[in-house]
């Protein structure tokens, strides 16, 4: 399993913005340069983060981006799922309850995927941008 470049960049962008003064609007160019993210790709990511309600976007000369929520309420899981959709470590943990293998009700491995899924979701939910370890 690996977190996509898109999610990695989204996490870095939110981290950068969360380290600014609350009223300071960060521009795409500023974030791209500070975090070494390709500007065009970042523009698409910031649009998705705004659409998902994690950022506020302002247009014009004084435009830029601000967090739409307190930084302590934005978790890594929230950002990743804004980019990728619901996080699933294996098809066995899909919500519809059928992975298509025909062994769903008697699979001895399924319980381990469910435990790993729960642990991963818990870990990513517990990391938020209010954490002092995420300060520059």
Whether 127 has a pLDDT exceeding 70, the answer reads: yes
For helices 28-35 and 39-51, angle between their N-to-C axes, nearest 10 degrees: 120
Do residues 72 and 134 lie in contact, with contact meaning Cβ atoms separated by under 8 Å? no
Whether the CB-CB separation of 15 and 34 falls below 8 Å is answered with no
- Provide the CA 59 distance to its chain's centre, in angstroms: 23
Q: 21-36, pLDDT tens digit by residue? A: 989 999 999 999 999 9
**Domains annotated on the chain, with CATH:** 5-134 (1.10.10.10)
Instruction: Provide the mean pLDDT of the chain.
Output: 91
Q: What is the pTM of this model?
A: 0.89
For the segment 35-59, the average pLDDT, to the nearest whole number, is: 97
In the chain, % of residues over pLDDT 90: 70
pLDDT digits (tens, 9 = 90+) for 53-101: 999 999 988 899 999 999 999 999 999 999 999 988 887 777 666 666 7
Could you give the CA distance from residue 46 to residue 34 in angstroms, rounded to a whole number?
A: 15
Q: What is the pLDDT of residue 97?
A: 60
List of residues 6+ apart from 63 with CB closer than 8 A: 25, 27, 57
The answer, yes or no, to whether residue 105 has pLDDT greater than 80, is: no
Quickly state the pLDDT bin for 109 (edges 50, 70, 90): confident
Q: Pseudo-torsion of CA 131, 77, 114, 5, nearest 10°?
A: -110
- Burial profile 1-37: b = 16 or more Cβ within 10 angstroms, e = fewer: eeeeeebbbbbbbbbbbbebeeeebbebebbbeeeeb
What lies within 8 Å, CB to CB, of 21 at 6+ separation is none
């Amino acid at each position: 399993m690996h977190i996509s470049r898109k999610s990695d960049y989204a996490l870095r962008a939110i981290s950068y913005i969360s380290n600014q003064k609350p009223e300071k609007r960060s521009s795409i160019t500023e974030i791209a340069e500070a975090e070494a993210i390709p500007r065009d790709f970042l523009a698409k990511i910031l649009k998705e983060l705004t659409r998902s309600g994690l950022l506020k976007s302002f247009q014009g000369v004084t435009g830029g981006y601000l967090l739409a929520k307190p930084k302590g309420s934005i978790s890594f899981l929230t950002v990743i799922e804004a980019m990728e959709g619901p996080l699933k470590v294996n098809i066995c943990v899909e919500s519809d309850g059928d992975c298509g293998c025909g062994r769903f009700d008697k699979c001895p491995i399924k319980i381990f995927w469910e435990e790993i899924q729960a642990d991963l979701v818990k870990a990513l939910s517990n990391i938020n941008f209010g954490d002092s370890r995420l300060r520059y």
